[in-house]
Each structure stands twice: as C-alpha cells, then as structure tokens.
Amino acid sequence: MVEYSRFFADRVKPMKGSAIREMFKRMADPEIISLAGGNPAAELFPADELSKIAGKILMTSPTLALQYGTTDGYSKMKDCAKSRAEKVDSFKDGDEILIMTGANQGIDLTAKAILNKGDKVIVEDPSFIGSLNAFRSYECELVGVEVENDGMDMDKLEEALKNNSGVKFIYTIPTFQNPTGTTMSLEKRKRMLELASKYDILILEDNPYGDLRFSGEDVPTIKSLDTEGRVIYAGSFSKILSPGMRLGYIVGPAQLCEKIEMLKQVNDVHTPMITQLMCVEFMKKYNIDKYIEKNRDLYGKKCKVMLDTMEETFPKGKVEWTVPEGGIFLWCTCPGIEDITPIVDACLEKKVAIVPGSNFAVDITAPSNKFRLNYSAVEQAKIEEGVRRLGAVLSELL
Amino acid sequence: MVEYSRFFADRVKPMKGSAIREMFKRMADPEIISLAGGNPAAELFPADELSKIAGKILMTSPTLALQYGTTDGYSKMKDCAKSRAEKVDSFKDGDEILIMTGANQGIDLTAKAILNKGDKVIVEDPSFIGSLNAFRSYECELVGVEVENDGMDMDKLEEALKNNSGVKFIYTIPTFQNPTGTTMSLEKRKRMLELASKYDILILEDNPYGDLRFSGEDVPTIKSLDTEGRVIYAGSFSKILSPGMRLGYIVGPAQLCEKIEMLKQVNDVHTPMITQLMCVEFMKKYNIDKYIEKNRDLYGKKCKVMLDTMEETFPKGKVEWTVPEGGIFLWCTCPGIEDITPIVDACLEKKVAIVPGSNFAVDITAPSNKFRLNYSAVEQAKIEEGVRRLGAVLSELL
C-alpha cells in the first residue's frame, strides 16, 4: 500500500485536528454539560416558518432551487446580504458582495486570494481558530497582538507593524470577539484604520456576532469608517438565522471580489440554491430583526445567569473574566497558574466541558492559564449547574 | 483608494474569469439556443418529492437541520454516498468518505492537500475547466495528455511520466469525459494503474457522469481495480439528483481524508445540513436508481436527436465527432481549420451557442479547431433546431 504522507503538500503537514473537536469526542457522555461549544441557541430556530418556506419554494420554483446557480450568489440573496451590510453602513460605492457557504469560506478564499507563502497576517491573540487555521493553510506567518478589554492593543499593533515587513492584512473580530467576548472601542477602530493606512495594509473585519448586542451601545463597524477601501467585511447568517444552512457573505472592492469569485468557482462552484432561497423568503415574509431581538434577549439572560453563578461560585480573587455586551462567549484568566490543562481535565471528570485558551493562541504549544465559556447553546438551568461544577473544580485546584 | 492588485497572491494573478461564463453573459438573448451548458435536465428534477421531504425534515428534525453539523458529513449522508461508491466497488478497506459541497470542492481540497507550488499534475487534454483551474490555483504545472476515442493515450502518458519529475497525480474523468464524451477502455484503466504504480504516483478519478450510461456496457471504475490504495475517487449527486443542492463526496485512504477534512473545516466548516438530510430522505423513500434510469433514457434520446441532426446537417467530411455512450457531452473537431473562434461567433449571430475547445485545453491561449456540444439541458425540439443552425454555419464557413 502507498505511504501517503510523502504526497502531502507542505501546507498540510503541520495541520492538526482541532483539539476542540477531540474534546467533543470525549464529550459523548450525555451527562456532560458543555460550556465549550460555539453553537447558537437551537430553541429559537424558526423551524416552522422555514419548513413552510422550503416546501413552497420547491413546489413553485423547482428549477431555480435545484439547478446550477451563479458563483457570486442568487441575486435576491445578494440583495438580502447587502441589506444586512447596509444596516451597519458597511457596503460602499465600488464594493461587490459575494454569497459564501458560511462566512468561514469567505475568510478562507480571501486569504487564498491575498497570501503568498511567507506573507504575514496580524491577528488578535487569541482569535477564532477556524480563521487562524485557514490563514495557516496558506503557509503565512501569524503575528499575534494582545487583546485588552476594549479590543486589540493599538500600541502593540503599531509595534508589530514597525517590526514586521510583509504584512498583508490585519484580521479582526472587533465586536464580541471570539474567544474573548470583548468589543473594540470606536477610538481603537479609528486608530486601526490610521495604522492600516500608514503601513499600507488591508483589514479583514469578521463580524458574525455584531447583531447580538444585549447591553451597551452599538459601535460602528471598521468598514463603515473606512474611506480608502482598505476593509474587507465578512458577514454571516449563522448566528442570526441558522448555522446549518451555511450562509455568509463577503463585501469588498470589486477588484478583489473578482478574484475571490474565481476561487469560489473552483471550490464549491456556488452556494446551494435551496438555502439561499429559504433565507430570501424568510427575510421577505418575516422581520428578521424581530427574530434577532429574541436571540439577543435570550443571550442577555443566559449571559447574566453565567456571570451571576461565576460571581457566586468562583474562588474570590483567583479568576478574572470579561463581561461581554453581546455575542456568545466570555473569557476567563487564572493569573495564579501557568497551565489550565489540569483544570480542564478535572472539569471533564466533574462532567463539565470548557475550552483551554491555547486553542485560540497564535502559538498553540505554549501553556495557557485561560479558558473560554459559551452561554448561547446551553439551557439556563444547565448553565447554572455547569458553572457550579466548574466553580467547585476551580475552588479546589486554584 | 487602495490599488488592490499589489495585494494579490501570485496564485490568482494569472487567473481569468471563465470564457464560458463570459459567453453566458452574451447569451442573455432568450432566442439563443444554448448547446454550450453543462446542466442536467431540469424537467426530471424530483421537485414534488423533495418539496414534501424538505418541509417534513424541518418540522420533525429542526435542530439537526438548522444547527452546526460535522465537517466529515452527516453520518446517514455518508452512508448514502458510501452506497453509491460501493455500487461501483469503489469503497475499500481503509478508505474514508467525506461529504463535499459538490464534488468540485473535493477535487479542490484534494489538490490543496497534495500540491506544492511547482508540482506537476497529469491531466487529459482537454479536460474539465473547473478542475484544471482548481489545480492552477495551487501554482502547479499541468501536463496534458491527448484523449483518444477510448480515453487517454497510454503511450503518451508513459512518455509524460518519463519526461516529467515531480508528478504527484493523474487527474482523469474516465467515463463519459468532460468535454469529449469518451470512455476509457478497461485495458487502458489497467495500464494507467500499472503506470501509476511504476512511477509511484496517485490517481484522482472524477466520476460525475458514470451513472448516466445509455448504451454499451459498464466499465469498472479505476478505483475498483486499484489494489495499492493509489486512487482517490470523487463522486457527485449533481447529475443524478440536483446540482443546485451541491452534494458530492470523496473516497480515499483515511490518512489523506484526515487532511482533506481539516481543509474543509477551514473552508466551509461543513456541507449544509438541509441538503444532506433531503438527499438521505429521498434515497430512503424512493429508488434513486429508478430516477437515474429516467435520466439515462432521456439523455439517450436527446443524444440521438443531436447525432441524427448532425449527420443530416453538418457538411460531409469536414467535421469529426465522438459518439458518447452516456453522460451529457460530445466533442467535435474540424480538421480543415486552425481556429474555431469565427465559427463560434457566427453561431452566436445565428442564435446558437457552442463552447470553443480552447477553454478545456491545458494551453488556453493556443487556437483550437474543436468545440463541445451539450444535449442534456436542452429540449429535444431545440436540440434539433440548434444543431440545424450550427450545421448551416459550418456548411457556410468550412
């Protein structure tokens, strides 16, 4: 038999399966309460509405729904995505919009259109593992910049830009960041744009959680503040309609979108038609913002349950955490220890799952004293119980 | 404003939009009969069945249909795909199967897992443009080998393997090839495997049309003849259920599939759940082979109408063509001329569209005296009328 490893491209040789996925395998035990996921709340999915819509579309527009579509996306779906982007002033003159099979595809193909081997990307450290691994798959170098409670540290960003040539873009999730739950201040957003202009680089703004604010005031997207066409904007329907439908979009200058479209054409040709048509029809018949509001309210309540229980059960002075104003994650640090791994393992023994911080780091081999918690996917009673179990472990081991 | 071109990766700089797509834009005129497409026949789509299925799935399994799924595919969908592969003895011990958002994604990600810049891929010349462009996007070198009426020229393949170091795999569509409509003989399939073994390379077998035989005898897939684990097999539901659903799969050794799965995870995370569930339910409730039989019959009839009208209207002795035993394409050569472009343009004037051969070539800049015809997507009366128009142009210009 063939020894396959000799055929592997250099880009995949260092790739390892996500440790989060490995943990999910260990979590098959139904008694485990998972605060480790990143799923939206399934209890709010508009399944009845989508059921009627899907049945009707296939009756009334069978050819449209089942035949090949265009790579850039179904025109009415493009309008729907554009309306979401325009709602946050993030579609500009000269921009194009491309429908993606989930925003992650947009991030992957944007990276593919831009990154040569050895190019550098500046990222928040920690950041979303799916994007980091997409960038890594083009053999670029990731340069991490620390995240503070009000977003990426701008002085350290400037330092990174000074010390690194070959940076093509900054990747940021400025609003309700994954994994930290933090939101970048307006001032920092402006500063990031100034720095991008000064060092002549691009910004890839990933905004999957922006609609999910449950407290505080909206902050303009970086894209909306951009006057030079430096920002590529990735939007998603995963957290406001359904992740299983895999619908996202990219907004960017036409010149770049043309290249991304060609890469999508040789990737999945086009996003499935039925999911696009379902989204269009849902947005036509129902007020999606009303639906999003329900999600916000629920996530606000769930977050509060989590924070209240943490306050009550975590050992005093031994754990620090972020207080999100929206989104689905919060981020904990245990300043007194070096490595969270024994705690994560002890948690699994006590039937509660959390994700160790190293997964989200630029250097995934360095020990981390941090962990991520998710509240969107879990029922409120289970959040409370899960955090209690976690609090007991922390009290014992810290 | 930013000049974006300086940010482009080398891999996308030479990429041009498909000339076929450009032609489709010129074809907006509803009077044009298109023999240029590659769509399956929409009149047979099982829309009523899928309509009921889609509505029911969203009522009975809303969370499964709308929540995140796993990257490798929904387990029952994997079973369905496996049953299709097993039907042609193309799933072996040690193999894994991955559900793809269309087979093209499987081909793209297989190439991404294998190809370093400068590696070589041997391809049929002409071949499917979507795969060729996927390979090109990894900056490899394509080595073309001529296609005869019974498939790739094996002596030329051996010559190519002798003369080229750094070949990682052969890409082939052995059955009802796109664009030629030819099928590789059993003898040649065996010889290809011997050569792959002798030169220690892999074979990527793309089989989207294999189920669509309307005359002659089935030939075993290359994968089914493989005893060394050299063949990666790409299957598709696009031509046997619906292309707009974007469902395909890859069968290959677990070692390689593990890498492809990681690349899919950072690409679209997973294939949409609703389309997977629809396919599973369709295959559970209905006999998909009965449905495929209807397609075969229809395509056989359409192909005959096309061939009969060609026989009748094409200028005698000036055009040669392949006679497919299945699939959706046939391939014409005009030995007396160098460049088909003026004929393609004259056809558009006469309201019939055909694709010039250069689109499918390894060297797309070289003039071609060939063109591709499609019969699956067109009504029989229109095939006849379209071929008559084409015949008139050929009679005038050849």
Q: What is the mean pLDDT of residues B141-156?
A: 98
pLDDT at B3 over 90: no
> Which pLDDT score is estimated for A30?
86
Helix residue ranges, H only, chain A: 19-26, 47-60, 62-66, 75-87, 103-114, 129-136, 154-163, 186-198, 222-225, 254-265, 273-285, 288-313, 341-349, 380-397
> Which pLDDT score is estimated for A338?
97
pLDDT at B18 over 70: no
User: A328 near A373, Cβ under 8 Å?
Assistant: no
> Which pLDDT score is estimated for A29?
83
Q: What angle do CA B19, B207, B211 make, to 5 degrees?
A: 115
B179-209: pLDDT as tens digits: 999 999 999 999 999 999 999 999 999 999 9
Per-position b or e across B4-30, b if 16+ CB within 10 A of its CB: beebbbebbeebeebebeebeeebeee
**A244–B268: do the CB atoms touch at under 8 Å?**
no
> Which pLDDT score is estimated for B19?
64
Residues of chain B with Cβ-Cβ distance to A77 below 8 Å are none
**A104–B268: do the CB atoms touch at under 8 Å?**
yes
- Best of B2, B115, B199, B203 to disrupt the A interface (most A CBs within 10 Å) is B2
**B51–A55: do the CB atoms touch at under 8 Å?**
yes
Give residue for tokens 């994700």: A355
> Which pLDDT score is estimated for A224?
98
**B130–A265: do the CB atoms touch at under 8 Å?**
yes
Q: What are phi and psi of B191, to 5 degrees?
A: -65, -40
pLDDT at A13 over 90: no
Distance from CA of B236 to the nearest CA of A (A): 12
3-state secondary structure A250-298: EEEEHHHHHHHHHHHHCCCCCCCHHHHHHHHHHHHHCCHHHHHHHHHHH
Residues of chain A with Cβ-Cβ distance to B57 below 8 Å are 51
Which residues are CB-neighbours of B30 under 8 A, at least 6 positions away? Answer: none
Q: Kindly state the tokens that stand for B215.
A: 């005359």
**B50–A39: do the CB atoms touch at under 8 Å?**
no
pLDDT at B223 over 70: yes
* Cβ pairs bridging A and B (under 8 Å): 278
User: B283 near B241, Cβ under 8 Å?
Assistant: no
Nearest to B177 by CA among B343, B327, B357: B327
Q: What is the mean pLDDT of residues A2-26?
A: 80
Nearest CA in chain B to A168: B7
**A94–B255: do the CB atoms touch at under 8 Å?**
no
> What is the interface pTM, i.e. ipTM, of the complex?
0.96
- What is the rounded average pLDDT for all residues in chain A? 96
B239-272: pLDDT as tens digits: 999 999 999 999 999 999 999 999 999 999 999 9
Nearest CA in chain A to B52: A55
A window 343-382, beta carbon within 8 A of B = none
> Which of A50, A117, A244 lies nearest to residue B68, judging by beta carbons?
A244
B window 185-204, beta carbon within 8 A of A = 200, 202
pLDDT at B174 over 90: yes
- pLDDT category at B20 given cuts 50, 70, 90 is low
What one-letter code names the amino acid at B36?
Answer: A
Which residues are CB-neighbours of B212 under 8 A, at least 6 positions away? Answer: B176, B239, B240, B292, B295, B296, B299, B326, B327, B328
What one-letter code names the amino acid at B326?
Answer: G
Q: Kindly state the tokens that stand for A140.
A: 């670029």
Nearest to A40 by CA among A339, A298, A365: A298
Q: What are phi and psi of A172, to 5 degrees?
A: -140, 145
Q: Kindly state the tokens that stand for B175.
A: 């059955």
Interstrand relation of A370-374 and A329-333 (parallel, antiparallel or unpaired)? antiparallel
Q: Check if B229 contacts A (Cβ < 8 Å).
A: yes
Residues of chain B with Cβ-Cβ distance to A272 below 8 Å are 101, 244-246, 272, 275
A window 2-41, beta carbon within 8 A of B = 2, 4-5, 7-12, 15-18, 21, 38-40
Which residues are CB-neighbours of A310 under 8 A, at least 6 positions away? Answer: A319, A321, A332, A387, A391
Identify the sign of the CA torsion A163, A164, A167, A173.
negative
Q: Kindly state the tokens that stand for A382.
A: 């289970």
> Which pLDDT score is estimated for A91?
98
A360-374: pLDDT as tens digits: 999 999 999 999 999
Express as a percent the part of chain B with pLDDT over 70: 98
pTM of the model: 0.97
What gap in Å lies between CA A103 and CA A235, rounded to an integer? 6
- pLDDT category at A285 given cuts 50, 70, 90 is very high
User: B234 near B102, Cβ under 8 Å?
Assistant: no
Residues of chain A with Cβ-Cβ distance to B38 below 8 Å are 68
Q: Which contiguous run of DSSP H or E holds residue A320?
A: strand A320-321
> Which pLDDT score is estimated for B345?
94
A112-129: pLDDT as tens digits: 999 999 999 999 999 999
pLDDT at A151 over 70: yes
Enumerate the β-bridge partners of residue B97. Answer: B251
The CA-atom distances, in angstroms, between A232 and each of A41, A166, A221, A260, A263 are 28, 19, 11, 11, 16
User: A234 near A257, Cβ under 8 Å?
Assistant: no
> Which pLDDT score is estimated for B15?
82
- Best of B12, B95, B250 to disrupt the A interface (most A CBs within 10 Å) is B12
Q: What is the mean pLDDT of residues B336-343?
A: 97
- Best of A2, A120, A201 to disrupt the B interface (most B CBs within 10 Å) is A2
- pLDDT category at A1 given cuts 50, 70, 90 is confident
> Which pLDDT score is estimated for B5?
87
- pLDDT category at B17 given cuts 50, 70, 90 is low
- Best of A18, A45, A60, A66 to disrupt the B interface (most B CBs within 10 Å) is A66
**B265–A130: do the CB atoms touch at under 8 Å?**
yes
- What is the rounded average pLDDT for all residues in chain B? 96
pLDDT at B378 over 70: yes
The span from the first CA to the last CA of chain B, in angstroms, equals 51
Which residues are CB-neighbours of A22 under 8 A, at least 6 positions away? Answer: none
What gap in Å lies between CA A16 and CA A358, rounded to an integer? 14
> Which pLDDT score is estimated for B249?
98
Q: Which contiguous run of DSSP H or E holds residue B144?
A: strand B141-148
pLDDT at A14 over 90: no
**B274–A54: do the CB atoms touch at under 8 Å?**
yes
> Which pLDDT score is estimated for B14?
82
Q: Kindly state the tokens that stand for A22.
A: 């490995």
- pLDDT category at A69 given cuts 50, 70, 90 is very high
pLDDT at A257 over 80: yes
B79-127: pLDDT as tens digits: 999 999 999 999 999 999 999 999 999 999 999 999 999 999 999 999 9
